[in-house]
Amino acid sequence: MSDFNLQPAKDKIIYADNAATTSVAPAVLESMLPFLTKRFGNASSIYSLGVQSREAVEKSRNTIARCLNAEPSEIYFTSGGTESDNWAIRSAFKINLNKKHAVSSKIEHHAVLHSFKALEKEGLRVSYLGVDSNGLVDVKEFSQTVREDTSFASIMMANNEIGTIEPVKELSVICKEHGVLFHTDAVQAVGHVKVDVKELGVDMLSFSAHKFHGPKGIGGIFIRKGINLLPFMEGGAQENKMRAGTENVAGIVGMAKALEIATQNMTSNNKKVTQMRNHLIKSLLGIDRSRLNGDPVIRLPGNANFCFEGIEGESLILNLDLNGICASSGSACTSGSLEPSHVLLALGISHSVAHGSLRITLCEENTLQEVNFIIQKVKETVEKLRLMSPVWEKIKTMESAGFG
Ligand SMILES: *Cc1c(COP(=O)(O)O)cnc(C)c1O
């Protein structure tokens, strides 16, 4: 029995918010269970119960390293994407205090943006690059922004709201030429598109298990050999004295299993997910005064992000929820605030249009039948909301007067 007053689950939930989090795959749960029950030993204990945990942790590290083409010693476990981003950015600042400039973008996750904001109070100056209307950072502009006193840069690999995939490889070449450390938040990319740290040439790369069918509260960071970051947590000698705290053995095992499965099935999953997503995009762009946000081609397979003029995204989400559909408007972190998404605004979309946004993020567990149901319900709901919307009425009046 659960201590929580969980309402009975709806008969049928259509989960289409995989950029917020994903379900734990059954094989992942199965791999974790022994380490939550009989094999509960502390990985630092020297008797065999502990040694078994240590072996599981190191085997998982090897698996993750293999999936990312890293060395096992370059993989550190953290509590998730947020911690990895905080670690990379704070530490990159502190190891090179002679240079007080960094480069990032306007469309980063808040884990990155707010880390930078905190460091600005400590004297770091940050250039936040704008993006084009598809959400792409300009490589040339990036290159021109790097200067004598630039110590590091952080540009995400794939955006969590609009799915645009950034030219990380080109950016890291520029960083290398100028002796600038380069971190990428790859939380949306790992497990979804190919991530090869050697090919990308990045120095640090963040990832998080719950974005690829692993458990919540566990993630990691790749830190290239030879880069002497500072420890993020002080305490015991875990993680090569870089991240103290008793290892989350079950979480680590589950994350490795999830990444292994995602990597094995990536090609077939992406084919299926891309097909469903393209069908969704084509159908929903049939709605009057709708637009797709993010690059039409250079985007994550599961991501579709729209704006529908004349409606409120929040109302759309709540109406979809009544039909058992889980989707999102803006990012989970900004919802609840009245400000529209900083990512949509960076694309040059007006405040009023940005308010009418819908993010649908699919995974391989979704079916075409579900996608068709989503299409039907979004169309119905947008129509319904527009009938009640004074903003929509105004748009239509302007349109008929020839100002559309
Ligand atoms: C989810 C997400 C994070 C935060 O990861 P957590 O594991 O939830 O802390 C950071 N960056 C991006 C791009 C994300 O999508």
* Domain CATH code at residue 274: 3.90.1150.10
User: On the CB side of 250, how many CA atoms lie within 13 Å of its CA?
Assistant: 17
Containing structural domain, residue 291: 266-400
- Are residues 202 and 73 part of one domain? yes
Domain boundary among 204, 237, 264: 264
pLDDT value of position 4: 76
pLDDT value of position 10: 58
**CA-CA-CA-CA torsion for 235, 156, 16, 133, nearest 10 degrees?**
160
Q: Please check whether residue 19 lies inside any domain of the structure.
A: no
Q: Please check whether residue 59 lies inside any domain of the structure.
A: yes
- Are residues 327 and 383 part of one domain? yes
Q: Please check whether residue 98 lies inside any domain of the structure.
A: yes
3 state SS of 143: helix
Atom of ligand 1 nearest to the CA of 108: 13
Domain boundary among 220, 240, 264: 264
Measured from the CB, is residue 109 less than 6 Å from ligand 1? Answer: yes
174 contacts 125 by C-beta, under 8 angstroms? no
Q: Please check whether residue 252 lies inside any domain of the structure.
A: yes
Give me 119's structure tokens.
């460091």
What's the gap in Å between 80 CA and the centre of ligand 1? 7
What's the gap in Å between 391 CA and the centre of ligand 1? 34
Q: Please check whether residue 256 lies inside any domain of the structure.
A: yes
Residue nearest to atom 14 of ligand 1 (CA): 187
Signed CA dihedral, 263, 264, 265, 270: sign only: positive
Q: Which residues contact 376 (CB under 8 A, 6 or more apart)?
A: none
Q: Please check whether residue 16 lies inside any domain of the structure.
A: no
What's the gap in Å between 402 CA and the centre of ligand 1? 44
Residue nearest to atom 8 of ligand 1 (CA): 81
Residue nearest to atom 12 of ligand 1 (CA): 187
Q: Please check whether residue 352 lies inside any domain of the structure.
A: yes
pLDDT value of position 332: 44
Q: Which residues contact 19 (CB under 8 A, 6 or more apart)?
A: 160, 161, 163, 188, 211, 300, 302, 303, 328, 359, 361
pLDDT value of position 12: 83
Nearest to 61 by CA among 53, 36, 89: 53
Low-confidence ranges of the chain (pLDDT < 50): 331-335
153 contacts 180 by C-beta, under 8 angstroms? yes
State pLDDT tens for residues 139-148. 999 999 999 9
Atom of ligand 1 nearest to the CA of 211: 1
- Are residues 149 and 126 part of one domain? yes
- Are residues 233 and 252 part of one domain? yes
CATH of residue 63's domain is 3.40.640.10
Residues recognised as catalytic: 333
- Are residues 56 and 205 part of one domain? yes
pTM of the shown model:
0.96
Rounded to the nearest 10 degrees, the angle between the axes of helix 313-322 and helix 368-387 is: 130
Residue nearest to atom 5 of ligand 1 (CA): 81
State pLDDT tens for residues 45-78. 999 999 999 999 999 999 999 999 999 999 999 9
Atom of ligand 1 nearest to the CA of 21: 1
Measured from the CB, is residue 164 less than 6 Å from ligand 1? Answer: no
- Are residues 276 and 253 part of one domain? no
- Are residues 125 and 247 part of one domain? yes
- Are residues 160 and 183 part of one domain? yes
Residue spans of alpha helices (H) in 285-367: 313-322, 342-346, 351-354
- Are residues 61 and 168 part of one domain? yes
Atom of ligand 1 nearest to the CA of 82: 9
What's the gap in Å between 82 CA and the centre of ligand 1? 6
State the total domains in the chain.
Answer: 2
- Are residues 221 and 151 part of one domain? yes
What's the gap in Å between 317 CA and the centre of ligand 1? 21
Q: Which residues contact 288 (CB under 8 A, 6 or more apart)?
A: none
Query: Ligand 1, residues 18, 162, 185: which to mutate, most atoms within 8 A of Cβ?
Result: 185
Q: Please check whether residue 14 lies inside any domain of the structure.
A: no
Residue spans of alpha helices (H) in 131-265: 139-145, 168-177, 197-200, 238-241, 249-264
Measured from the CB, is residue 88 less than 6 Å from ligand 1? Answer: no
- Are residues 199 and 144 part of one domain? yes
254 contacts 31 by C-beta, under 8 angstroms? yes
- Are residues 46 and 33 part of one domain? yes
Q: Side chain identity at 211, as an amino acid letter?
A: K
Q: Residue 397: which H helix or E strand, with range? A: helix 390-398
Ramachandran category for residue 119: left, alpha or beta (phi over 0 → left; psi -120 to 50 → alpha)? alpha
Measured from the CB, is residue 156 less than 6 Å from ligand 1? Answer: yes
Domain boundary among 232, 264, 296: 264
pLDDT value of position 334: 47
Nearest to 178 by CA among 213, 212, 143: 143
